Structure 1
Amino acid sequence: MSYRRTVKLVCGLAAGGSAVLLCAAAAATESHHGHVSETHRDQAGRWVRFHVLQAAQPATTWSAGRHTGASTGLAWDVNWDKRDPSTLQTNEKKEKASEDPSTEQENGKPTATRHILLIRHSQYNLSGTVDHERVLTHLGREQAGFTGQRLAALGIKYDILVHSSMTRATETAKIISKYIPGVELVSCDLLREGAPIEPEPPVTHWKPDAVQYHEDGARIEAAFRRYIHRADPKQKEDSYEIIVCHANVIRYFVCRALQFPPEGWLRMGLNNGSITWLTVRPSGRVALRTLGDSGFMPPDKLTRT
């Protein structure tokens, strides 16, 4: 049986077909043509080709021209931020609704897009035992400068710069602000670093106590609900907001915003001073434009500590 005929035979089988059926069909074809005098080496070579071709078949189903992969069974929650216009009408408003309730609902729909740029703080003094000792290193201040230059070069009119109240995030935000003058700085305790949720799979080098997950998780989730959501209907223009905080917070935000399992937050890595860009559409749809972008820094300035 020729290799070309073997390929045709494999491709003719339904996706996910049995390897036993494949081999039986090949054997039957060989017997039909009387090819029974192959050497052991030839037979071994054909079996290898069979296995390679079988492994190449996609583990998915095909139907009516539609290619469908394995489904998790989890649909997108359109009201993930509890701001879907159709759910915001109170009973009183419904009673007073006009003859065309769709018009009233249209007037209450968001029309602006929110762009949220999450910045990880720059490198800091790891030997500090308390927060006020964990100041930026010389390299960290350089990194913050590169990030500020990058944000300025984008030519965007930023609406606000919110930062964690921890020293390393505060210092990073102040350096960045020099490159985008006129943008209001706001400090927020909710954005402090912490343990958002026990990671899956677990790691051996970092094992916070259960109480830390319990306390930090509630705080970081509260920060997510405050800052990551669709625009208010009263907002008429797209907004660009900068949030300077920490790797754990940013990674958790990304998982929650994309409706990925939040336990997977530790599977991502972020460089110091990197930019993660989330976009929240008026419909509530979320897109991740960049994750941990630090390509604007020289290679010798990159760190993740």
Structure 2
Amino acid sequence: MARTLLYLVRHGEQDSDETGSDPGLSELGRRQARRLGQRLRAVPFHAVHHGPAARAAQTAEEIAAFLPGVPVHECRFAADVTPVPAPGRADQAVPQRYADFVDAVPEQERDPGAVRAQAAVNHWGRVGDVDRHELVVTHNFVIGWAVRHALDAPYWRWLGLNQFNCGLTIVQWRSDAPPTLVSFNDIGHLPPGERGQPPVELLT
């Protein structure tokens, strides 16, 4: 039975000193991406897909240097979006502790009813006649939504599923089974000094 293995990567650390609305990678972000490229160089990817943001495109470029012959292209499904409840949908309400965050999402980033996020999952999760390995460089909330989908979790549960920069999440689809979460936020390729700011508070 054929399967699709989707390798989801959050872009590398962005350059906080860069001006403008679309910052590229910091030097640390580039090192993070190269570390991941080294780790993935033996995977037989069909393609590398990335969102339109500069930090996603540059992350894909650094990784692709270790994947000779694998096509790289911009993918609209990998754009940065934030799922928010659709108006009037009580079944999509978020817990009160997240309400202020959701209310503050800028208009251009809002994805009411997660229409765009779910379209991305449906697009990437197709299963054909042969095994496929697809690499997608995207953003934190898009990956969180894909994980929520794989686990068949409540609508709001993408909240709190946070990835390190260049963390690796893998989801598998098969035609004879529901999607499977293979790994989540794997940072084994990043030395402690190159992990950047943790996406959640870690206990040490």
Q: Same fold judged by TM-score > 0.5?
A: yes
- The answer to whether the 8 Å contact 1:228/1:257 transfers is no
1:262 CA drift (Å): 2.8
- Write the distance in 2 (CA, Å) between the matches of 1:210 and 1:187: 23
TM-score normalised by the chain length of structure 1? 0.57
Q: Which residue of 2 aligns with 1:148?
A: 37
- The answer to whether the 8 Å contact 2:140/2:163 transfers is yes
- Write the distance in 2 (CA, Å) between the matches of 1:245 and 1:124: 13
The answer as to 2:10 corresponding to 1:113 is: no
- Write the distance in 1 (CA, Å) between the matches of 2:40 and 2:113: 30
Q: Which residue of 2 aligns with 1:179?
A: 66
Q: What do the CA deviations read for 1:93-137 (whole angstroms, capped 9, x no partner)?
A: xxxxxxxxxxxxxxxxxx301111001100002354311xx0100
Q: Which residue of 1 aligns with 2:89?
A: none
**Pair 296,204 (structure 1): closer, same or farther in 2 beyond 3 Å:** same
**Pair 287,214 (structure 1): closer, same or farther in 2 beyond 3 Å:** closer
Q: Which residue of 2 aligns with 1:129?
A: 20
- Write the distance in 1 (CA, Å) between the matches of 2:117 and 2:39: 27
1:202 partner letter: Y
Q: Which stretch of the first structure deviates more once superposed, 136-145 or 205-214? A: 205-214
- Write the distance in 2 (CA, Å) between the matches of 1:141 and 1:197: 31
- Write the distance in 2 (CA, Å) between the matches of 1:186 and 1:215: 26
1:214 CA drift (Å): 4.2
Other structure's SS at 1:243 match: strand
Q: Which residue of 2 aligns with 1:138?
A: 27
Q: Which residue of 1 aligns with 2:114?
A: 217
**Pair 296,214 (structure 1): closer, same or farther in 2 beyond 3 Å:** closer
Aligned mate of 1:166, from 49, 53, 65: 53
Percent of aligned positions with the same letter in both sequences? Answer: 26
1:301 CA drift (Å): 0.5
The answer as to 2:177 corresponding to 1:284 is: yes
Q: Which residue of 2 aligns with 1:298?
A: 191
Aligned length: 187
1:301 partner letter: E
Gaps of at least 5 residues in structure 2 are 86-93, 200-204
2:39 partner letter: R
- The answer to whether the 8 Å contact 1:195/1:216 transfers is no
The answer as to 2:83 corresponding to 1:190 is: no
**Pair 291,214 (structure 1): closer, same or farther in 2 beyond 3 Å:** closer
1:299 CA drift (Å): 0.1
Q: Which residue of 2 aligns with 1:260?
A: 153
**Pair 169,286 (structure 1): closer, same or farther in 2 beyond 3 Å:** same
**Pair 123,203 (structure 1): closer, same or farther in 2 beyond 3 Å:** farther
1:181 CA drift (Å): 0.8
1:218 CA drift (Å): 2.4
**Pair 214,147 (structure 1): closer, same or farther in 2 beyond 3 Å:** closer
1:204 CA drift (Å): 4.2
Superposed, 1:20-59 pairs within 5 Å as none
- The answer to whether the 8 Å contact 1:197/1:262 transfers is no
- The answer to whether the 8 Å contact 1:122/1:169 transfers is yes
Q: Larger radius of gyration, structure 1 or 2?
A: 1
The answer as to 2:166 corresponding to 1:273 is: yes
1:228 CA drift (Å): 2.1
Greater share of strand: 2
1:239 CA drift (Å): 1.3
1:186 CA drift (Å): 1.8
- Write the distance in 1 (CA, Å) between the matches of 2:109 and 2:59: 26
